[in-house]
Structure 1
Amino acid sequence: MKGNADRAVAKRAADRIRGIFVPDESYFDEGFNRMAYSRWMANTPEGYGVANGIQEMVQYIQSGLIAKERLKHVLVVSEGMFEDENELDNIFRLVLDIGLEQFMSNREEMELQKNLRPDDKTGILISF
């Protein structure tokens, strides 16, 4: 979800210019409002890809091949594991360093501290 916060701000500004009602930016200072808007951008050109079962997801899910000799780990996570300030490669390194359970626990604590609505946290780490 790298850059999603910046894309969300840009989309809101563009929508306001087009005459679409979007609350003032101060509304999005609250974590719940920011997260709800971000979720609304899932599987859209301005947003990010999420395997959430809707038809549009097919256009936004990345896929590719990697030589199995180079593969060391596979990390599959739900979007509740992300935060605007932390990029996926940083999350991956943290999970490898402290473990998936501790990462989720830290994430839950951060949500409480920032008064964010808890999101689902699902993760699978496969190491070869």
Structure 2
Amino acid sequence: MTSLLMKIIICPLVVALSASFLANVHYANFIQPIIVGLILAVAGVAMEYLFLKEGRVWFSTLMDFVASVIIVYFVTNLFTTASATLFGALIIGFLLAVTEHFTHSYLVKSGKTRKTSMA
């Protein structure tokens, strides 16, 4: 739950701020980067459940980078009034991966990635 709340705030913020500074990414209105960011947040939490374990922080971060680039590029280009080049998506993916690395490190160190057993 901690991860989801963090991602719901961080992902849309990173996408919106990146779009305002990058010439390679354009959104016609403010709701578009929020939608992309929320999709990234949900995908990121799902990927943490699948991949994030102790000793796999870098692998999980790399997987988040790849997924972020794909999601930003394709979802942004689905909007008729928005656009993102592959380079722009790579930059946003990198920025998100940096934030994700710190999130993953925190989750592993705090023990929030351990699965509880039902036995």
TM-score grouping bracket, smaller chain normalisation:
0.3 to 0.5
Q: Which structure has the larger Rg over C-alpha atoms?
A: 1
Please report the TM-score for the alignment, with normalisation by the length of structure 2.
Answer: 0.32
Question: Counting helix residues as a fraction of each chain, which structure ranks higher?
Answer: 2
Higher strand share: 1
